[in-house]
Amino acid sequence: MSAAKAPVRVAVTGAAGQIGYSILPRIAAGEMLGTDQPLILQLLEIPVEGPQKAMRGVAMELDDCAFPLLEGIVMTDDPRVAFADAEWALLIGSKPRGPGMERADLLKDNGAIFVEQGKALDDVAADDCNVVVVGNPCNTNCMIAASQAKRLAPERFTAMTRLDQNRAQAQLAKKSETAIADVENIIIFGNHSPTMYADFENATISGKPAVDVVSDDAWLKEEFLPTVGKRGAAIIEARGLSSAASAANAAIDHVKSLATPGGPLHSIAVRSDGNYGFAEGIWASVPVTTTGVGTYQVDTSFQHSEFAVGKLGVTNGELVEERDTVSSMLG
C-alpha cells in the first residue's frame, strides 16, 4: 500500500466573501488538487469582527462536511500566517465592483491589498508557491503582487481569465447547438475587462473552425465578443452582486489545469515577455500548456487576422494604462 500524501497548504483570502463561500467546500472535497490530496486550508480575512465571525462560520460548516481530505483549518487576519509555507495561494479577497463601475475603478483600493500581500508571500510562502489572483482588476493586481515578491518567480503569479474562457465556450456551444466539450481551443487574450479578445478565429467546434460552423461573422464580432466581454456586468445587473459560483468554478478550473501537465490549452494571464504584441512586463491572458505542477509554456503558434490584431492592440493599451496608473505600487 502506498503512503498517504503529505498535506498541501492552500491559502485563500477573502474567505468570508461570496466566492470564498462557493470555493472552499469544493477545494476541501478534492475538486481542485485531486481526491487523493490531503490539504490544510489557511484562511485570511480582514481584521474586522463581522468578516472574522463569518469566516469562523464558514470553518464550522467545513467541519460539518467531514471532508476526509481536510486535515486542518487556519483562520487569521495576518497575511504572514495565512501564506506560511503555502504551495497554492488564491488571492480572492478584495472589493468587487458595483453596478455602473468598471473593474479598473477598483485599482486604487484593491491595489494596496496586493502590495501588502505580495510582500507577505515573499516573506513566508513556499519557494514554489503558485499564486492565483482573482481579485479585480486581476491582471494588474497580479502584476503588483509579483513585483513585491522578489524571492518568488514572476511566472508563478497568474491571474484568472478562465471564467471568460468558460463563458466564451458556453456561448459558442449554445449558438452552434453543440455540446460544451465539442468547443475547443477558445482562448482569451489580454485583460479581464471588456477589452479582452475571445479568440473565435482559432477556436474549433467538433474539430472544424468555429467561424465555419457558426458561419455568422456579424454575430461573432458584434454579439459574441461583447457578450463575453461584458458578462460580468450583466451578472451584476441581474443579481445585484458579482459572479460567485461561476468565479469559484473558474478558479478551480484554473488551478486544476495549472496542476495537470499535458492537458489542453487554457487561458491564464501571465507575465508578458512580448508575445502577441503585449508589452513586456504586463500580465496578459494568453494560451498556455501546462508542463509541470504550476509550470507552463505560452503557445505562440496562434495566427491572427488584422481584426484580431487590432483587438489585441486595444486590450494591450488598456493594460499598459493600468500599469502606468499603479506605477507607485510596483516594487
Q: Does 232 bind ligand LMR (CB under 6 A)?
A: yes
In the complex, least distance from residue 160 CB atom to ligand NAD, rounded to whole angstroms: 4
Cβ proximity of 6 and 38 under 8 Å? yes
Closer Cβ to ligand NAD, 46 or 153, answer by number: 46
Closer Cβ to ligand LMR, 14 or 96, answer by number: 96
Integer Cα distance of 97 and 104 in angstroms? 9
The residue type of 307 is: F
Task: Pick what 22 binds: ligand NAD, ligand LMR, none; C-beta below 5 to 8 Å, kind-dependent.
Answer: none
CA-wise closest residue to 34 among 62, 61, 4, 66: 4
Q: Strands 70-76 and 39-44, how do they pair?
A: parallel
Which among 12-20, 24-32, 232-240, 288-296 is the span making contact with ligand LMR, rule CB under 6 A?
232-240
Q: Nearest residue by C-beta to ligand LMR? A: 232
Integer Cα distance of 214 and 53 in angstroms? 50
- How many Cα atoms occupy the beta-carbon half-sphere of 164 within 13 Å? 34
Q: Please pick, from the candidates 9, 97, 311, 323, the single residue that binds ligand LMR as defined by CB under 6 A.
A: 97
Integer Cα distance of 135 and 325 in angstroms? 17
Q: Does 163 bind ligand LMR (CB under 6 A)?
A: yes
- Catalytic residue status for 254: no
CA-wise closest residue to 210 among 193, 225, 232: 225
| Per-residue x/- track, 282-311, ligand LMR (CB under 6 A) | ------------------------------
| Per-residue x/- track, 243-262, ligand LMR (CB under 6 A) | x---x---------------
Which among 50-58, 114-122, 227-235, 296-304 is the span making contact with ligand LMR, rule CB under 6 A?
227-235
Kind and range of the H or E run holding 157: strand 157-159
Number of other residues whose CB lies within 10 A of the CB of residue 94: 23
| Per-residue x/- track, 108-147, ligand LMR (CB under 6 A) | ----------------------------x-----------
Integer Cα distance of 169 and 184 in angstroms? 8
- Cα 197 → chain centroid: 16
Task: Pick what 165 binds: ligand NAD, ligand LMR, none; C-beta below 5 to 8 Å, kind-dependent.
Answer: none
Contact positions toward ligand LMR, by CB under 6 A? Answer: 96-97, 103, 136, 163, 232-233, 235, 242-243, 247
Q: Which residues are catalytic?
A: 192
